[in-house]
């Protein structure tokens, strides 16, 4: 039964990822859909970042070092557009901050 559940879940996972890609493959997108599409990536990635930091039932505010690390990431990404710099500086802040305070 568990195997069947996992198998159905596999179908479900695939279906959710495939539905628009396959269903809209030959369709022309209405202008509104194309404009809405532009905001999917910013909205979903922003929401994802937050869910990675906080867990349900826990403290709804991320820790200071996490906020500082993400803030650094955002600023460095904006200034340099180089993700290696982003990684180094943000992780530096995240790991270093507890020693400074």
Partner 1 sequence: MAPLRSFWKPEAGYSNDMSTSRLTLADRRRRGVLDALVLVLPAIPFALVFGLTVRESGVAIWLGWSSSPIMFSGAAQITLITLIGEGASLAAAATAALVVGARHLFYSFSMAPAMQHQPGWFRWCAPYMLIDQVFALCVGKRDLPPADFRHYYLAAGLTFWSFWMTFTALGLFVGPVIPVGLDISFATPVLFMGLLVTAIDSWQKAVVAVFAMFITLVLLDLPSRSGLLLAVILGIALGLLLERVRQK
Size of the site for partner 1 (CB under 8 A): 67
DSSP 29: P
Residue from 30, 56, 99, 101 binding partner 1 (CB under 8 A): 56
Q: Which is nearer to partner 1, 57 or 101 (CB)?
A: 57
Provide DSSP, 16-55. HHHHHHHHTTTPPPPHHHHHHHHHHHHHHHHHHHHHHH--
DSSP 85: H
Residue from 41, 68, 97, 100 binding partner 1 (CB under 8 A): 41
Neighbouring residues of 80: CB distance < 8 A, sequence distance ≥ 6: 86
Residues engaged in binding partner 1 (CB under 8 A) = 1-3, 5-10, 12-14, 16-22, 24-26, 29, 32, 34-54, 56-57, 60-61, 66, 69-70, 73-74, 76-78, 81-84, 86-87, 90-91, 94-95
């Amino acid at each position: 039964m568990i195997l069947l559940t996992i198998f159905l879940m596999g179908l479900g996972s695939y279906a959710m990822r495939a539905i628009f890609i396959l269903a809209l493959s030959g369709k022309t997108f209405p202008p509104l859909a194309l404009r809405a599409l532009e905001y999917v990536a910013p909205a979903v990635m922003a929401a994802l970042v937050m869910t990675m930091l906080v867990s349900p039932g826990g403290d709804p505010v991320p820790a200071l070092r996490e906020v500082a690390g993400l803030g650094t990431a955002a600023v460095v990404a904006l200034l340099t557009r180089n993700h290696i710099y982003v990684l180094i500086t943000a992780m530096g802040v995240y790991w270093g901050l507890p020693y400074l305070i």
